[in-house]
Chain A
Amino acid sequence: MSQLRRPMTGRFKRRRIMDRAMTFAAYACAALAIIPLTWIVIYVFVKGIGVWNARFFTQLPALFEAGGVRNGIFGTLEVVGLSAAIGVPVGVMAGIFLAEYGDNILGGTVRFTADTMTGVPSIVVGLFVYGVVVLNTGGAYSAFAGAVALAILMIPIITRTTEEMIRLVPNSIREASLALGVPRWKTILRVVLPTALSGIVTGVFLSVARVAGETAPLIMTIFGTYYAISKNIFDGPTTTLSLLIYKLGGAPNPEVVKVAWGASLLLILIVLGLSLLARLIFKGEGAKF
């Protein structure tokens, strides 16, 4: 009998069985990991799609019948947009600092702080902003206070992804620019940032998606009532989709609870859309070097 074709007995058989079993286990666990996401999306879709009609998008919530979530949609766009306006410039510039000038004690401190901050529970951030912003503006809940809380959650994520993306830009490109007599700051602005742009934008989108669904810190900063919809971003409680889900979901009337499902579906689609957009940007633009 040839050396290659041994009979499948003894330890060879055992190895083969083990190999098959482990491969199967790995596949099974991978499948298990995506079950929750698909399940949630399908479940929320089935429960929520029924209330999606003109009234859902244009009316305010009602207490004893199926109303709309107009104020929540507006509030989510307002608060998340504001938080991005605060958080993106700070986060991106901090990331540039870490990548280009951060190999020192200050950089190490900022990096460590950012890493720690990603682990701080969001409700603690809410409480912090309540103490620092809300109480210092005469106890006024406001979209601005909510945006500050979300920005605080957003900044460390943007900072670290921006740093990583800028560090991926090969040093040879920086050298090429410096050797042309382009000053350091202009090299960063004109050569390094454009090269890292798609990665940075991806990080921004992912962080926005991450905070769009936040609820806990907003309870303490924008308060969120049924009807709240303040015209002044610095004064007056307002609400978001996430807060409305929290409020409406606990209502005694089943018709009202259905609206909460509809709002959940909308929120999931917003977050999913942002993540998808982020991936598309990264795929389309990335990996040029």
Chain B
Amino acid sequence: MSYLHEISEPVVEVQDLNMYYGAFKALDSVGMKIAKNRITALIGPSGCGKSTFIRGLNRMHETVPGARIEGKVLLDGEDVYAENVDPVRVRRKVGMVFQKPNPFPTMSIYDNVIAGIKLGRRHKKSELDEIVERTLNQAALWGEVKNKLKDSGMSLSGGQQQRLCIARTLAVEPEVILMDEPASALDPISTQKIEDAIQDLKKSYTVVIVTHNMQQASRVSDYTGFFFIEEMGAPGQLWEFGETERIFSNPKRKETEDYVTGRFG
């Protein structure tokens, strides 16, 4: 089922996307439009292909041995899977924050932030300083680390590490930021800070966030996609998509309603 009609000017348009791990089909025929400067939440039970789906958007899926993909992912109208498209360039436009905070262990906080921009053209020191301060501010971490930028990224708490990873992603200046359950490994206070940061990001970025937490989806997102598998071993499907308010208050399909009201999942 496709819900392409709801968004008129998408940044990302996914058409008939099928994703595989070897012989296993993980995702079946997903179509979705992702609105610019909006937050799109993806919810659904475990193993229904949400994480796989967002890894398809920035070509991270293909880093898994045996992984395969069919269909189109248009970024500003351009298919990221077309021939001659360099996945490296796609990933610079579509950044990603992972479930578990993963700062680079050998780098300082400062170097972690600029890790992604140190290739390409050379930046002046003052430019880098400015980027570090701006992105750490956007990630709501600056105040906590401004006096210890030379410390190892590993010296931070889990929540701080995750915000550092968000800053690192922002420094590359992507158009779209994918977040794979960014707060699921964190305590409520850290979660709150991350959610606040995500709300602020909306002004300049498009955010897609996978979450298991339905309150989180309803709190932060503008649009919600519900993924579902009909039975074990079947591929995941985009079961329902729409404005978050509508999905939570007036879902069209029974499974969506069961899930958002907490009857399963």
Residue of B nearest to A176 (CB): B102
A181/B172 in contact, CB under 8 A: yes
Complex CA distance for A107 and B198, rounded to whole angstroms: 44
Residue of B nearest to A180 (CB): B116
Per-residue interface assignment for chain A, residues 147 to 181, with 1 indicating a CB less than 8 Å from any chain B CB and 0 otherwise: 00000000000000000000000101111111111
B27 part of interface (Cβ distance < 8 Å): no
Residue of A nearest to B106 (CB): A194
A195/B102 in contact, CB under 8 A: no
Answer whether A181 and B60 are a contact pair too, CB < 8 Å, given A172-B98, A173-B104: no
Q: Which A residues are CB-close (under 8 A) to B116?
A: 177, 180-182
A20 part of interface (Cβ distance < 8 Å): no
Answer whether A180 and B172 are a contact pair too, CB < 8 Å, given A175-B60, A175-B63, A186-B119: yes
One of B87-95, B140-148, B217-225 contacting the partner: B87-95
B225-260, CB < 8 A from A: none
Number of A-B contacts (CB under 8 A): 72
A172-230, CB < 8 A from B: 172-183, 186, 190-191, 194-195, 197
B105/A173 in contact, CB under 8 A: yes
Q: Which B residues are CB-close (under 8 A) to A182?
A: 88, 115-116, 119
Complex CA distance for A172 and B185, rounded to whole angstroms: 15
Answer whether A288 and B60 are a contact pair too, CB < 8 Å, given A176-B98, A179-B95, A181-B89: no
User: How many of A's residues come within 8 Å of B, CB to CB?
Assistant: 22
B60/A178 in contact, CB under 8 A: yes
B88/A175 in contact, CB under 8 A: no
Complex CA distance for A186 and B119, rounded to whole angstroms: 9
Partner of B100 from A172, A177, A190, A288 at Cβ < 8 Å: A172
Shortest B191–chain A CB gap in Å is: 20
Shortest B152–chain A CB gap in Å is: 8
B60/A179 in contact, CB under 8 A: yes
Residue of A nearest to B152 (CB): A288
Q: Which B residues are CB-close (under 8 A) to A103?
A: 65
A289 part of interface (Cβ distance < 8 Å): yes
Complex CA distance for A288 and B152, rounded to whole angstroms: 10
Per-residue interface assignment for chain A, residues 37 to 50, with 1 indicating a CB less than 8 Å from any chain B CB and 0 otherwise: 00000000000000
Q: Which A residues are CB-close (under 8 A) to B17?
A: none
Q: How large is the interface on B (under 10, 10 to 19, 20 to 34, 35 or more residues)?
A: 20 to 34
B109 part of interface (Cβ distance < 8 Å): no
Q: Which A residues are CB-close (under 8 A) to B172?
A: 180-181
B165/A176 in contact, CB under 8 A: yes
B96 part of interface (Cβ distance < 8 Å): yes
Residue of B nearest to A196 (CB): B106
Complex CA distance for A175 and B169, rounded to whole angstroms: 12
Partner of A179 from B58, B104, B106, B107 at Cβ < 8 Å: B58
Q: Which B residues are CB-close (under 8 A) to A178?
A: 60, 63, 91
Q: Which B residues are CB-close (under 8 A) to A175?
A: 60, 63, 98, 102
A177/B104 in contact, CB under 8 A: yes
Answer whether A173 and B168 are a contact pair too, CB < 8 Å, given A178-B91, A181-B89, A186-B119: no
B154 part of interface (Cβ distance < 8 Å): yes
Answer whether A180 and B168 are a contact pair too, CB < 8 Å, given A175-B60, A175-B63, A186-B119: yes
Complex CA distance for A197 and B107, rounded to whole angstroms: 13
Q: Which B residues are CB-close (under 8 A) to A174?
A: 63
Partner of B106 from A180, A181, A288 at Cβ < 8 Å: A288
A289/B98 in contact, CB under 8 A: no
Answer whether A195 and B88 are a contact pair too, CB < 8 Å, given A175-B60, A175-B98: no
Q: Which B residues are CB-close (under 8 A) to A197?
A: 106
Q: Which B residues are CB-close (under 8 A) to A194?
A: 106-107
B165/A288 in contact, CB under 8 A: no
Per-residue interface assignment for chain B, residues 93 to 126, with 1 indicating a CB less than 8 Å from any chain A CB and 0 otherwise: 1011010101111110000000110010000000
B96/A179 in contact, CB under 8 A: yes
Residue of B nearest to A173 (CB): B102
A17-49, CB < 8 A from B: none
Complex CA distance for A197 and B154, rounded to whole angstroms: 17
Shortest A248–chain B CB gap in Å is: 47
Residue of A nearest to B89 (CB): A181
Shortest B162–chain A CB gap in Å is: 12
Shortest A197–chain B CB gap in Å is: 8
Residue of A nearest to B60 (CB): A179
With A180-B92, A181-B93, A191-B104 given, can you name 8 additional A-B contacts, CB distance below 8 Å? A172-B100, A172-B102, A174-B63, A179-B58, A180-B116, A181-B90, A181-B91, A191-B106
A-B contact list, 22 entries, CB within 8 Å: A103-B65, A170-B102, A173-B102, A175-B60, A176-B102, A176-B165, A176-B168, A178-B60, A178-B63, A179-B58, A180-B116, A180-B168, A180-B169, A181-B88, A181-B90, A181-B91, A181-B95, A183-B119, A194-B107, A288-B105, A288-B106, A288-B152
The 6 closest A-B pairs by CB, nearest first: A181-B92, A180-B116, A179-B96, A181-B91, A194-B106, A172-B102
